[in-house]
Amino acid sequence: MSSFRHPGTVLTDHRFAVPLDHADPGGPQIEVFAREVVAADKAERTDLPWLLFLQGGPGNRSPRPIGREGWLDRALDDYRVLLLDQRGTGRSTPAHRRSLARIGDAAAQARYLRCFRADSIVLDAELIRRELAGNAPWSVLGQSFGGFCATTYLSFAPEGLREVFITGGLPGLDATADDVYRAAYPRVAAKNREHHARYPGDAAIAARIAGHLHDRDERLPGGARLTVEAFQSLGLMLGTGSGGHQLHYLLEDAFEDGAEGPELTDAFLAQVERHLGFTAAPLYALLHEPIYAQGRATRWAAERVRAEFPEFEPGERPLLFTGEMIYPWMFENDPSLRPLGETADLLAEHDAWPVLYDAARLRGNDVPVAAAVYHDDMYVDFGMSMETAAAIRGLRTWVTNEYEHDGLRVSDGRVLDRLIGLVRGTA
């Protein structure tokens, strides 16, 4: 355990040994990293309640803050915050192409990764809570996939919870992966329409880029092939408050005059790679569909369901960008994912996933819960979120279209402050 200071904060690093499979506590262990953050003027207080932050993803590490910034500034007024690198991410025991190769063949890797969903993350959190807080329950803030984890927490370990805040992360309790993507494609199409209404010239640029990619074998700086389908995946950007503007600026820098005619600029290709690459977060690709699986295989749901929406075909015009979807061809194109393709196929075919939510327990919930539900959220379905909100006893919602999915990050603490007020009865 080591500590250091930033402007206005004291940070302490923690490492915890946890079972790979909580059903086998005597079996193999992995390490989970977490960083404690406390306001500098409260560092010596022992009565501050803990707030566990569960990051979105899956497969993304927790934030690396510098001082009191964003939502953290509001949280530090009342809490000692724990930023958890969920298993397999950040400084926790890694799960990527090199580390997974040491586990064994694809079947062994798939068995290993089946222990990396919300149910395991919650059980990690409970072991950590008991080590840091003893018998005292703690507060939890879950963003996006972190909200899914918080809902699992409410289902299976509510005794560990003092209060829960969820931002853009109320899952469909019994929604299949097919249900999720069948609802998602129309939302993504609507975001495309909004983007083209704001930037009407982007449709022509996107069509020009698609034509260029259709005729050439274009590679990103890291070696991944940039196909039309990969280019369409930039639509992931449309789900954040400033993402559409960033996409516009990206497109306007696409072409320059080359020796043999127009060619894509290095700057454009480098930015595309930054948005589309999985080197830093391979679990995002590997587990993106399994996080929805309960008792049945996902079988590459986003790819299958896409066939129901022909307007997303690469040859259609205007070219529609896709969204938060993972496709099997990504494991062929991306060098960091290519060694994991067979593993991903085995995860897609696995049909014995345990349930992640307990509807009966949620109906009887007595933990104070508040959730920000973003009306225009591209990533998490509004209808499913509201159904789940109604199914959790005592949950208070704040429905808003002031923010997109990244409201917690960009609101300078206003979203978290509103949820704290809802739980405390002051809002």
DSSP H helices in 312-357: 330-333, 341-349
Q: What is the DSSP string of 108-137?
A: HHHHHHTT-SHHHHHHHHHHHHHHHHTT--
What amino acid is encoded at 210 in this protein? A
pLDDT digit string (tens) for 379-414?
A: 999 999 999 999 999 999 999 999 999 999 999 999
Residue among 201, 196, 276, 205 at smallest CA distance from 244 = 196
Q: Are the CB atoms for 153 and 140 separated by under 8 Å?
A: yes
**Alpha carbons 207 and 352: distance in angstroms, whole number:** 42
Could you list the active site residues?
144, 377, 405
Q: Are the CB atoms for 126 and 110 separated by under 8 Å?
A: no
Residue among 76, 74, 71 at smallest CA distance from 40 = 76
Helix (H, G, I), strand (E, B) or coil at 404: coil
> Is the predicted pLDDT of residue 305 greater than 90, yes or no?
yes
Q: How far is CA 242 from CA 68, 168, 237, 249, 377, in A?
A: 22, 16, 8, 11, 13
Helix (H) or strand (E) holding 29: strand 29-39
Geometric angle at alpha carbon 65, from 62 and 68, rounded to 5°:
130
Q: What share of the chain has pLDDT > 70, as a percent?
A: 100
Phi, psi of 373 (to 5 degrees): -115, 115
Domains of the chain: 2-174+357-424 (3.40.50.1820), 177-349 (no CATH)
Quote the pLDDT of residue 258.
Answer: 87
Quote the pLDDT of residue 161.
Answer: 98
Q: Are the CB atoms for 302 and 309 separated by under 8 Å?
A: no
The token duo for 313 is 């075909």
**Alpha carbons 408 and 379: distance in angstroms, whole number:** 14
Quote the pLDDT of residue 427.
Answer: 83
pLDDT digit string (tens) for 235-253?
A: 999 999 999 999 999 999 9
The token duo for 296 is 């049945």
Quote the pLDDT of residue 278.
Answer: 96
Helix (H, G, I), strand (E, B) or coil at 45: coil
Quote the pLDDT of residue 227.
Answer: 97
The token duo for 19 is 């079972």
> Is the predicted pLDDT of residue 1 greater than 90, yes or no?
no
Quote the pLDDT of residue 260.
Answer: 82
pLDDT digit string (tens) for 30-74?
A: 999 999 999 999 999 999 999 999 999 999 999 999 999 999 999
Quote the pLDDT of residue 4.
Answer: 86
> Is the predicted pLDDT of residue 261 greater than 90, yes or no?
no
Phi, psi of 22 (to 5 degrees): -65, -15
